[in-house]
Amino acid sequence: MSNSLTNADESVTYDAIVIGAGVIGPCIATGLARKGKKVLIVEREWAQPDRIVGELMQPGGVRALRSLGMVKSINHIDAIPVTGYSVFYDGQEVSIPYPYKADSAAVPKIKDLVFDGNDQVDDDETIRRSVYEDGEREMGVAFVHGRFLNNLRNITKREANVTCLQGDCVQVLKSDNNEVIGAKVQIEGRGKVDFHGHITFVCDGIFSHFRSELSPDHVPSIGSSFVGMSLMNADIPAKNHGHVILGHDHSPILVYQISDTETRILCAYNAEKLPRDLKAWMIKDVQPHIPESLRPSFDAAVAQGKFKPMANKYLPARANDVMGLCVIGDALNMRHPLTGGGMTVGLQDVVLFMQKFGDLDFSDRATILDELLDFHYERKPYDSVINVLSIALYSLFAADTNNLKELQRGCFKYFQRGGDCVETPVSFLAGVKPSPFELTRVFFAVAFYTIYLKFEERGFLGLPMALLEGIMILITAIRVFTPFLMGELMG
């Protein structure tokens, strides 16, 4: 371990202390440092991690990295360009390309953060500058998470105003009047050391130890799980696409390439507790639905048995109403990972934060707290769309009732119509259309199209039955969508 990671100066009052150097922490630290703030960022282990989350970034996340001047972090890591999705349903396929750039708002360039072309990618072995910078459509990217994270951390380490510290944050420090004033860190060779700062950011991710500082009941719920595997040298059906494999009798399966040799597969299990024998479950319930070209690599991965289970968590955001504290990223807000929107929400939060707070004096804690309360509401347009979309789509794609199965089939047939029936939904998925009310319109358009299909199938003689089925489908759609939308917008 480098001594430079253990010798942070505890006598300094930092403008900001950042707990956690996952995806969000380095972006917060780098942005504030470029704004002239003195920043301490604390991470338990700075070595490259091995995780199966945060491997596919939607275009909204790429756009946010541009705004922060950190988009070169996707370079030189064998990253795979992502141009859209392919949805498979009982043997049929629909290709859904990402939206045109002309249909999205311009990418904001944040003053002091963007300079010397750091908002544009470089050419490397897999990323083409001409595609990302001059192409007509928005672009996503998939990568090995640890490599991407190392790039972000290295950008942060190069900032003169950032002090990087390796240690275990064991406590958020508070004053006598319960204001947050810093963090206590266990450091190898130094013991427990108190560090003080005007604002402390909690960015310690999905397993956050400190989100409860915001509120004791700020606890995620768990409703389903993914089982991940690495497919080596897989022959994927649609190059440079994420794959969503659906069916009326199985939970969704996600497939996306993350390097030249490795492809990630995530198999949904629609319950919190996983089956005891994962291998048997994979063979019985997943293998029959795997596309033929993927079977050799899938079978080999199952035989190896290197399964990586992951609980899928949901956590609506709370307002940051504690003086001196800002909880952000997955520590604040989580959604179902089906749509790959986590990094997009977190990075867009960082962009909004830099736009609102970057030039403020952090020692003026009362003003910062007022602005944090506004921040909670200003982030709702994009956060509610991505979060509600993830929950609603998972409910349809993992359909476990007849009405949900009908909505699943109706959703696929809606996509088959093409045109606006594809272009608008993928804008939500891509994280480039922050419009909750437009999302509502599209979701219920799918519901009414499903009802129309029932009337068409039943014919004139089956009209009464179709009417009853239609009412039940509409009620199901309302129950799936409306509570989450209202919770996101009003919470």
pLDDT, tens digit (0-9, with 9 covering 90-100), for 30-47? 999 999 999 999 999 999
Say yes or no: 59 and 191 in one domain: yes
DSSP3 helix / strand / coil % (the chain, rounded to 5): 45, 25, 35
CA distance 104 to 100: 7
| DSSP conformational letter for 72 | G
- The 10s digit of each residue's pLDDT in 59-101 is 999 999 999 999 999 999 999 999 999 999 988 999 999 999 9
Percent of the residues in the chain that have a pLDDT greater than 70, as a whole number: 99
Residue at token pair 């972090």: 73
Q: Is there a single domain that holds both residue 245 and residue 172?
A: no
pLDDT for res 1: 33
With a cut of 50, say whether residue 2 has pLDDT above it.
Answer: no
And the tokens for 481?
A: 């969508």
What is the structure's pLDDT at 103?
95
Last residue of a domain, one of 286, 314, 342: 314
Structure tokens at 176: 């006598």
Asked if residue 365 belongs to a domain, the reply is yes
Q: What whole-number percentage of the chain has pLDDT above 90?
A: 94
Mean pLDDT across the chain: 96
Residues 289 and 394 occupy one common structural domain? no
139 phi and psi angles, rounded to 5 deg? -125, 140
Domain boundary among 334, 363, 380: 380
Helices and strands in the chain, H and E counts: 13, 17
Given 258, 291, 314, the domain boundary residue is 314
Are 146 and 45 part of one and the same domain?
yes
Given the structure tokens 């804008």, which residue do they identify? 427
Interval 424-444: pLDDT, tens: 999 999 999 999 999 999 999
pLDDT in tens, 271-291: 888 999 999 999 999 999 999
Of 427, 426, 357, 346, nearest in space to 379 by CA: 346
DSSP code, position 270: S
pLDDT computed for residue 91 by the predictor: 86
**pLDDT at residue 3 tops 80:** no
Domain count along the chain = 3
Closest CA to 345 of 317, 306, 374: 317
Same domain membership, residue 211 and residue 321: yes
**At 18, phi and psi to the nearest 5?**
-110, 120
Average pLDDT for 453-470: 90
pLDDT band at 361 (very low <50, low <70, confident <90, very high): very high
What pLDDT does residue 461 have? 83
Q: How far apart are CA 366 and CA 324, in angstroms?
A: 9
| Tokens describing residue 160 | 């003169």
Residue whose token pair is 């009417």 = 467
Q: How confident is the model at residue 52 (pLDDT cuts 50, 70, 90)?
A: confident
Q: What is the CATH number of the domain that holds 337?
A: 3.50.50.60
The residues, ordered by sequence, that sit 6+ positions from 461 with a Cβ below 8 Å of its Cβ are: none
Closest Cα to residue 258, out of 286, 229, 283?
229
Residue 291 lies in domain: 222-314
pLDDT digits (tens, 9 = 90+) for 5-28: 889 999 999 999 999 999 999 999
Domain co-membership, 301 together with 328: no
Residue 309: how many CB atoms within 10 A of its CB? Answer: 13
pLDDT recorded at residue 276: 92
Question: Based on the domain organization, do 123 and 228 belong to the same domain?
Answer: no
Strand-strand pairing, 140-142 and 191-202: unpaired
Assess whether 135 and 246 both reside in one domain.
no
pLDDT in the model for residue 265: 98
